[in-house]
Amino acid sequence: MRRIYFDHSATTPVRPEVAEAMCGYLKDNYGNPTSLHYFGRQVRKGVEEAREKVAGAIGASPNEIVFTSGGTESDNMAIHGVAYSNKNKGNHIITSAVEHHAVLNTVKALGKEGFTVTILPVDKYGMVSVEDVSAAMTDKTILITIMHANNEVGTIMPIREIGKLAHSRGVIFHTDAVQSFGKIPVEVNDLGVDLLTISGHKIYGPKGIGALYIRKGTRWRQTLLHGGAQERLRRAGTENVPGIIALGEAARLAVANLANDNEYLRGLRDRLIREVTARIGHVKLTGHPALRLPNHASFTFEFIEGESMLLSLDMKGVAASSGSACTSGSLEPSHVLLAMGIPHEVAHGSIRLTLGVDNKPEDVGYFMEIMPPIVERLRAMSPLDQETEFTTNSDCTICKVSGTCSRV
Ligand SMILES: *Cc1c(COP(=O)(O)O)cnc(C)c1O
């Protein structure tokens, strides 16, 4: 069957050049970079070259880059490290309601440990307002953590302005750039950030590798892992060498290809948005219409459940994702869509199509062949147009469509 992958915000395939680069470090260059002998030295050299590539890709210097196990660890490490080492200055942390859970749950956990947390609202496009950030700041504020681009609706936040504001008040600023890096320019001095998170598997690298940028002079300390002196005492544990090599190459390629990829993806995305909204009724684009990631199309379809669309698309070979959460056992829709003021019943009909460099124009054509009949069929059988409220899982549309909801 024809298979089309429209879920690049969840993860991406590894670029062949990246797989090739890491392969040598799985087979031949297996030394421990801490070892002083030849095997160790060879690998150390590869790791430091990768660090230079990652640093170069975001306009940082190599000693400001710490390799981690991915975006989640980088976010935890950034937030914990700043919170604990600035306790004497204050205990207030500012974030937004639409952050990835790696940020939101970390900040909430600190809220239970004596830190005060402000979770800023967003507008109908999922955008944080700079004025709200400014108004939330107090003389106890030690950290602002706001994502560069949102993973569910693609909205790009006013990071540069927030960075200026943070610095004018002497507050440390972290951004999660997992979704933006490789798709739009990400340059630490231009953005004015002190800490920045990236992840390998969102930029055509492997899973389980990421990096945290920590600006020189930032008051931050390692808090999560006790162990060896790797990464200049900032991250204990033997380095994930093949992952690091791969991240270096993926970051280099992401920046080298950025202009081309951006234009190509934007073309596909715009066509997808145009055709979906023109050819299917009761559909709305979610997220900002212009200030959005070049590969990101997300919608709500009224009177349908997102997961039933996903299952129908999957049966036709198209991989997409949804912000509706029947899979997690709760019928609570995405926290991002709810924060944008989208009503529960509409948020349930959300779908996200995120494009990648491996997608072809024909993929959009195929999608537009199969989607309108899927929507028509689901709407015909939907209980939602009679305004039925979901209360239990047995009322779930997935159960009705597939006869089971085994994942609940
Ligand atoms: C995927 C993602 C993460 C988590 O990164 P992992 O490497 O999967 O841990 C964090 N933030 C955002 C915005 C993401 O999209």
| 271 token code pair | 């066509």
Cα gap 127→130, rounded to integer Å = 9
Which residue among 227, 256, 285 closes a domain? 256
For ligand 1, the distance from its centroid to the CA atom of residue 106, given in whole angstroms, is: 13
What's the whole-model pTM score? 0.93
128 φ, ψ to 5°? -85, 145
* Ligand 1 binding residues, C-beta < 6 A: 70-72, 100, 102, 147, 151, 176, 178-179, 199, 201-202, 210
Residues 239 and 349 in one domain: no
The reported pLDDT for the residue numbered 329 is: 52
CA distance 343 to 154: 19
Active site residue 23: no
Rounded CA-CA distance 174/176 in Å is: 7
From 100, 104, 201, 204, the mutation candidate for ligand 1 (largest count of ligand atoms within 8 A of CB) is 100
Same domain (yes/no): 247, 334: no
The answer on 264 and 250 residing in a single domain is no
Q: Per the structure, how many domains does the chain have?
A: 2
Identify whether residues 230 and 300 lie together within a single domain. Answer: no
Looking at ligand 1, which residue's alpha carbon is closest to its atom 14?
178
The residue behind tokens 């209360």 is: 391
Residues 118 and 81 in one domain: yes
Q: Is the pLDDT of residue 338 over 80?
A: yes
> Is residue 189 domain-shared with residue 337, that is, in the same domain?
no
Residue 387: the pLDDT is: 47
Q: How far is residue 330 CA from its own chain's centroid? A: 22
Mode of pairing for the β-strands spanning 296-301 and 283-285: antiparallel
pLDDT at 403: 45
Query: Is the separation of the CB atoms in 243 and 21 below 8 Å?
Result: no
170 and 317 fall within a common domain: no
CA distance 213 to 64: 6
CA 104 to CA 108: how far, in whole Å? 6
When the pLDDT of each residue in the chain is averaged and rounded to a whole number, the result is 93
Atom of ligand 1 nearest to the CA of 10: 1
147's CB contacts (< 8 A; 6+ apart) are 96, 98, 99, 100, 103, 157, 175, 176, 177, 178, 179
Amino acid 331: pLDDT: 65
Atom of ligand 1 nearest to the CA of 200: 7
Q: Are residues 252 and 264 in the same domain?
A: no
Task: Tell me how far the alpha carbon of residue 219 is from its chain's centroid.
Answer: 25
Q: Which of 326, 396, 399, 405 is catalytic?
A: 326
Measured in Å, residue 56 CA sits from the centre of ligand 1 at 21
